[in-house]
Structure 1
Amino acid sequence: MSRTVSLRWALNLRSGTSCEERVDEGGFPLMGASGMIGRAARCNTMAGSAIIGRVGTVGAVSLAHTNCWASDNTIVATAGPTLYPTYMYYLLVGARLSELASKTAQPLLTAGAIGAQRFPVPSLAEQHRAAAFLDDRTSSLDALMGKRKAQLELLRLKRFSAVRDLLLRGHHGAKTKKTGLAWLPEIPADWDLVPLRYLTVCLDGKRVPLSSSERSDRQGPYPYYGASRVVDHVDDYLFDEPLVLLGEDGAQLGNPNLEVSFYVEGKAWVNNHAHVLRPAGINGRFLTEVLNVFDRNLYMSGATREKITQDEMNRILVPVPPASQQEELVHRILAARSQHVKLENALRSQMHLLGERRQALITAVVTGQFDVSTADGRNVTEGVSA
C-alpha cells in the first residue's frame, strides 16, 4: 500500500553552498546544476543525496554516489526514514522539476516548490523493487543515448574537419605557397594571408550589455547575442546589417570543435562578450567559416578565463582567396555543412525520443501508473534502433 504525501515530509531539502576551496586533483566531486564541474578540498554533502539544479540546468537531478560538495547553484535532497535513496532519486526525476521553475529570464527552482509536490510513497520493499526495475530499464536507454552522443560528437568533428579540408586544399591542382601557420601550412598561390584588421571594421564600441533582469523587462523579437549563441530576445536592436561575430571570451574558445563565430543578418543586439565585425573586402560568410577553424591558441590570453582581446583579434591571419573563389568555397562549405546538420538533427531527435521515454517510464513508476511487479518494460526502446 502507498500513501500520498508532500515531498517536504518525505525528504529534507537545503541549498548548496559556494565552494571556496577547489583542487586540481583528489578531494571530492564538486557538483553543479548539471553534474560534476570540478573537485573540492572538502565535502558538504553525503553519499546517497540527490543534487538538483537550482539555476542554470534547472531541475536536473543527479545521485551522489560518494561524499561531495554541492555548489550554490543546487538544492540538496536527502531521504527521510520512509524513502530509499535510489528511489528518492527516481521520484525527483519523475516529478519533472524543470516545470516548477519560475517563468523569468533566469528560471529559478526553490525548495518550497519541490516540497509542495505530492507523490505516493510505497513501502521500502516496494521502493527497492521499483528502483531495481528502473535501474535495469534506464541503463539500456542510457547506453543508447551514450552511443548517440558519441556519434553526434564524431559528426561535429567531421563537420569542422570538412571546413579545414576545403581551406587546406583550396582549388584542386592549384600551385601553393607556405604560410608558416601550423593549422594552415599552405594556401593556393593566388590567395593572400591578411591580418583581420584590414578586412573588417570593428564595431565593438556600439555593443551594450544588458543584465538578466533588464532583459526580463525588455522581452521582444530581436536576438540578443552573447559570446557563443543567442542568449535571449529583447525589444530593440543595436545593429541592422550583415555582420560577423567572434566570441571574445568564454570556455568555448578553448575547444577547437565548438563554433565561436556567427554570421548575422538583420536586426540584432550584441553584448560585450562578442566582437562585432563589419566585413570590408571579404565575403562575410567565408570569414565566419575561417574564424571557426583557425588556431585560437595563437591569439588567446587570460590566466583564468580564455579571451581574445581586440588587439589580438586584429592580428589574426586570414587566408583570402579571390572574390569568386570565396563564393564558391562558401557554397561548398555550406553544402557539406547541410549534410552534416541533417545527420546531427536526426541523432538529436533520437536522443530526445530516448530521453522522453526514459522520463515517461520513471514518471509512470513513481506515480503508481506502472506496476513493476507485472510489467517487464521491454518496449521502452521500441522504435529506436541501436
Structure 2
Amino acid sequence: MRHVVRNIVEKSDGSPQPFVGLESIEGNAGRLSADELPIKSATDSLRHQKGDVLFSKLRPYLAKSLMADRPGTGTGELLVLRPTPQMEPRYLLYMTLSRPWLEWAEMTSYGSKMPRTSWDAIAECPLWLPSFQEQRRIAHFLDTETARIDRLRASMIDALSLLDERDRTTIDNVFRDGDHSRQIRRLVAKWIDYRGATPTKTEHGVPLITAGNIFNGRVDYGRSPEFISENDYDSWMRRGLPRSGDVLLTTEAPLGEVAILNDPAVALAQRIILIRPHQALDAHWIYWYFRSPLGKSELLRRATGSTALGIKADRLRSVPVPVFDDAEKQQRIKNLEIGIKSTLRLRSPIGRQLELLAERRQALITAAVTGQFDVTTGRGADLS
C-alpha cells in the first residue's frame, strides 16, 4: 500500500484548529459523531488536510475512520493517511472500513488492554486496487447505498427515541400526584458507601462492579469487566457485604445510574452507594424513582462539582421521595413494569433490524472494495 498511500506525521504549530479526537468519530460509519468539531490549540496534535483519511490505530476493531472535509489537527492516536493521485480518497475511506482491513489492523495490534496497530504494520495490508476510474465508480456506488442504509438506520433510531420518551413519561407518571413525600433516609435500613481508595485489580477473581458497569437500569458486567482477588475480598468489603435486592446508585462520573443487585457475589468499587431499604417493596420504589425524570432532577439539585457532578452522602439522604400506602405503591409499580415490558417488545425487533443494517453495510463495503461485487451490474457476492 505504500506506493498509493503515505502516512503523514506533521506536528501542529499550536494555532487554533478544528480538532478530531477519537470520540469525534463514529465507529463503523466513516463520519463525525457530532455536527461540529471543537477548536483546540494542541501542540502535540497531528495536522491533516482535506481529503486525508484519519484511521484510529488505538483499538482498531472499533473501526473509527474518517475522511477529513477540511484542514485541521487530530489526536496522535490517528494515522493520517494521504492518498497519492492513484488513489481515490473516498475509496481509501471505504477500504479502511472493510472487514479485511480491520481484521489485519487487529491482527497486527500489540498490547492487551490498549491494543494499537502501526503504520508499518498497516502498510503491509494486502489490498485490491482497481483503476482510478473504477475506484471512483465503487466509491460513488457505496456513497449511494450506504446513504440509503443510513437513512433507514436514522428512522429506526428516531423510533427508539420515541419509545425512550414513552418510557420516561410512564416512569414519571408513577411518582406524580402524591399526597406527601419523605426523605429517603427514612425508607432505608442501611447505607454502605464504597467511595474512597481504589482496590487492587486482578485478571480473574470476584467481579468488581464499578460506576461504569451500572448502566440503563442494570448491572452490565460486559462494560469494562474488572475483578479483585478472592483473598482481598473480605478486607475490601469490610464496610458491609451486599445482598440480593440492594439498590446500587452511582454518585459521580456518572451521577444517578441505578440498578437492583441480583447476584451478591460481587465486590463494589468507589463512586457507588449501596441502599438497603426497610422492605423489598421500597427497593423497587426507590429504584424506579431514581430512574424517573423527577428523581434525577432531585439528585441534580443537590449535586456539586465543576468538571464532574457528584452528590455527597448527607445530601443524598435528604432527597425527598413521594410516598403512597403499600397497596398503592405495589399497584403503581405493577402498572409501570407492564408498560416497560410492552415498550421492550417493540424495541427488540428494532434493535435486531439495526444490527442487520450494520451487517449489511459492512458486507456491502467489503464486497465492493475487494472485487467480489460488480457495482455496475449489482452481481457478485451474496450479501443476504
Which TM-score band (shorter chain)?
0.7 to 0.9
> SS state of the match for residue 249, structure 2?
strand
Structure 1 residues 300, 68: closer, same or farther in 2, change over 3 A?
farther
Amino acid at match of 2:128: P
**Equivalent of 2:306 in 289, 303, 306:** 303
Match of 1:349 in 2: 352
Unaligned runs of 5+ in 2: 26-31
Q: Which residue in 2 is equivalent to 1:126?
A: 134
Q: 1:336 aligns with which of 336, 339, 364?
A: 339
CA distance, structure 1, for counterparts of residue 11 and residue 162 of structure 2: 37
Partner of 1:118, secondary structure, is: coil
Q: Could you list the structure 1 runs, at least 4 aligned residues long, displaced by more than 6 angstroms after superposition.
A: 14-22
Offset at 1:62? 2.3
Matching of residues 160-199 of structure 1 within 5 Å: 160-168=168-176, 186-187=177-178, 189=179, 192-199=180-187
**What secondary structure, in the 3-state scheme, does the structure 2 residue paired with 1:203 have?**
strand
1:79, distance to aligned residue in structure 2 (A)? 1.9
3-state SS of the aligned residue for 1:283? Answer: helix
Aligned to 1:290: 289
In structure 2, the CA distance between the partners of 1:120 and 1:149, relative to structure 1 (3 Å rule), is same
Residues 205 and 246 of structure 1, relative CA distance in 2, 3 Å threshold: closer
1:30 to 2, 14, 20: 20
Picking from 34, 56, 63, the partner of 1:59 is 63
Match of 2:29 in 1: none
State the match for 1:12 in structure 2: 6
Q: TM-score, normalised by structure 2?
A: 0.76
Provide the C-alpha distance between the structure 2 equivalents of 1:326 and 1:345, rounded to a whole number of angstroms.
Answer: 28
Following superposition of structure 1 onto structure 2, how do residues 123-272 of structure 1 map, counting pairs within 5 Å? 123-168=131-176, 186-187=177-178, 189=179, 192-200=180-188, 201-205=190-194, 209=198, 214=201, 217-219=202-204, 222=207, 224-227=209-212, 228-229=214-215, 230=220, 231=223, 232-234=225-227, 239-241=241-243, 242-250=245-253, 253=255, 260-266=257-263, 267-272=265-270
Cα RMSD after superposing both structures: 3.3
Residue of structure 1 in register with 2:117 after alignment: 110
Contact 1:59 1:96 in 2 (8 A): no
Between the aligned partners of 1:345 and 1:15, the Cα distance in structure 2 is 45
Secondary structure of the residue aligned to 2:270 is coil
* Cα distance in 2, alignment partners of residues 240 and 265 from structure 1: 10
Q: Relative to structure 1, is the Cα distance of residues 358 and 8 closer, same or farther in structure 2, using a 3 angstrom cutoff?
A: same
Give the number of equivalent residue pairs. 340
Name the amino acid aligned to 1:115.
Answer: A
- 1:157–1:336: structure 2 CA closer, same or farther, 3 Å change rule? same
**Partner-residue secondary structure (3-state), 1:275:** strand
CA distance in structure 1 between the partners assigned to 2:14 and 2:227 by the alignment: 35
TM-score normalised by length of structure 1: 0.76
Q: Does 1:280 align with 2:278?
A: yes
Partner of 1:245: helix, strand, or coil? strand
CA distance in 1, matches of 2:8, 2:320: 52
1:32 maps to a residue whose letter is: L
Q: Is the 8 A contact 1:286 1:329 kept in 2?
A: no
Partner of 2:28: none
* Partner SS state of residue 374, structure 2: coil
Taking the aligned partners of 1:78 and 1:28, their CA distance within structure 2 comes to 18
Give the share of equivalent positions with the same residue, in percent.
20
